[in-house]
Chain A
Amino acid sequence: MTMDVMQLQRKFSEHQSALYREGFLDDQFVQLQKLQDESSPDFVIEVVTMYFDDSENLLNNMARVLEQNPVDFKQVDAHVHQYKGSSASIGAARVKNLCAPFRTYCEAQNLEGCVRCLQQLQHEYSLLKNNLQYLFRLQQEIQAAGGKVPTPE
């Protein structure tokens, strides 16, 4: 095992631990990682990439509906509900947790609250995406160097 691979593995483990410690990810992401094996080595990347595409569609849809006059709060709520579910499924904890207050504002038909929640959601999603893309880059570098990707503890 070369020093480079060991260093990459250490960086990967540290970054992964930080994502859990800071609440970006929860135990559901561990479930996802445990489904990855030699027969499906890119399972996590595939699922999360779909989640990224889905997130961007949903966030754009929310923004579009909130710009309409009058605002269809039921439609916004439907998008937020979907986003909450998909985020929960993959363990995107901080994104998921922002959806509940957002739904409350939708129910109250509070436009200002909804717009604020959407901004927070966009910011949180952007942070998650950047952090996961970095993790996946490390994963691919480890795999390219013939190393084993550390599994979650």
Chain B
Amino acid sequence: MARGGSSSSSNPKISALIVEDHRPTSMLHEAILKRNNMETKVVNNGKHAVELHSKGERFDVIFMDYNMPEMNGAQATKKLREMGVRSMIVGVTSCTDFERVEFMAAGLDKCFKKGLTRAMVEEVLQKLKE
């Protein structure tokens, strides 16, 4: 699994990008990730996520919403994979099964139903350690 964005200390924090346009949800996700001792950054649509990566930023894990303005989660995920981004990308969405299939096919590693819980984050952290 590609690594990026962590500081070079003896015990670097896992870095996470939250891609979510709904402020209460991104606030909640950020709080859960911080409780799990992760470094977080928030952007509010897929286009901004792609722009960050175009500038060379990398994250250990990306938590991606599906339904966003300008560029949705599936489009952003597909674009990131085309750019060669190998970070773990986790969908967090309330989309339909059909949309979830499209989302997974775009290149997700995992897709969770909203709302994100600490147990889901711990599952992601476990996967990152493997």
B25: which A residues are within 8 A, CB to CB? 85-86, 89-90
Query: Which residues of chain A from 50 to 89 have a CB within 8 Å of any chain B CB?
Result: 50-51, 54, 78, 81-82, 84-86, 88-89
Query: Is A47 at the interface (CB under 8 A from chain B)?
Result: yes
Q: Are B114 and A88 in contact (CB under 8 A)?
A: yes
Q: Are B23 and A54 in contact (CB under 8 A)?
A: yes
Q: How far is the CB of B16 from chain A (nearest CB, A)?
A: 16
> Number of residue pairs across A and B with beta carbons under 8 Å?
65
Say yes or no: A89-B67 contact (C-beta < 8 A), given A28-B115, A35-B35, A54-B22: no
Total B residues in contact with A, Cβ cutoff 8 Å = 22
Total A residues in contact with B, Cβ cutoff 8 Å = 27
Main DSSP-derived SS at the B contact region: mixed
A54–B117 Cα gap in the complex (Å)? 21
Q: Which residue of A lies closest to B118 (CB)?
A: A31
Query: Which residues of chain B from 6 to 38 have a CB within 8 Å of any chain A CB?
Result: 22-25, 27-29, 31-32, 35
Residue in B24, B96, B115, B116 whose beta carbon sits within 8 Å of that of A103 in the complex: B96
Q: Which residues of B contact A (CB under 8 A)?
A: 22-25, 27-29, 31-32, 35, 65, 67, 93-96, 113-118
Q: List 5 A-B pairs, minimum CB-CB distance, nearest first.
A: A85-B94, A28-B115, A88-B114, A89-B25, A50-B24
